Amino acid sequence: MPKRVDHKQMREDLVERSIELFARWGYATLSIRTIATELGVSTGTLYHYFPNKQALFLAVADAVVSSDAEGTEALLMLPVEARLPLVLTYVDMHQERFLHHWLVLADVLRMEDPDGHILGHLREASLRYAEGLSELLGFEGAQKGEHFLALVNGLLMHAQVSNPVSFAEQEPLFRTVLYGGPEAGPVGDR
């Protein structure tokens, strides 16, 4: 009797496990053969789920945005002023994952993308991510979410060459950037 495979779950698993590979190896240096070897599957299996490396990478980018968005529904039920400390704690708990995401994005920015398809896709995903963060933090539009991400990315890069960072301890800095002061919080419509 043939083995039953949950194709949706298999595809999701391949995407999730590929995030770290793209961060470690870089988009340009990874081949489908290397990805398959590292994931412990055949190249045929990868081609069954993704027609090429670019399609796998775009699925990885979408998964990054979707995975963090899934956890925000419960936070949206909380008062907006209680959310920032919880988001910063989440970032603390997942610093390596956020660093991997940043490294993948930086690698893509260096690669050739003649038709702009990959960069365009990443820009759309980044905008959705920033808009979701803005909503979570009590703002409309993407701007404050982009500020939040810029600060997170800057602190992550700094921590790579300096001392480790606790995002929760940086809450006054985030409040200053987002709300205008170290003790400030969301008030009315911003």
Q: What is the DSSP letter of 180?
A: S
Instruction: Give percent of the chain above pLDDT 90.
Output: 45
- What average pLDDT does the segment 6-30 reach? 89
Q: What is the pLDDT of residues 126-181, one digit of tens each?
A: 888 899 889 999 998 899 999 999 999 999 999 989 989 999 999 999 999 998 88
pLDDT for 67: 72
pLDDT for 152: 92
Give the CA dihedral 49, 23, 170, 182, nearest 10 degrees.
-60
Does the structure show a pLDDT above 80 at 93? Answer: yes
pLDDT for 52: 94
Does the structure show a pLDDT above 60 at 188? Answer: no
Distance CA 24, CA 119 (A): 20
Residue with tokens 């990868």: 46
Residue 119: φ, ψ to 5° = -65, -40
Pick one of 1.10.357.10, 3.40.50.1860, 3.40.190.10, 3.40.50.2300 as the CATH number of 7-179: 1.10.357.10
The domain locations on the chain are 7-179
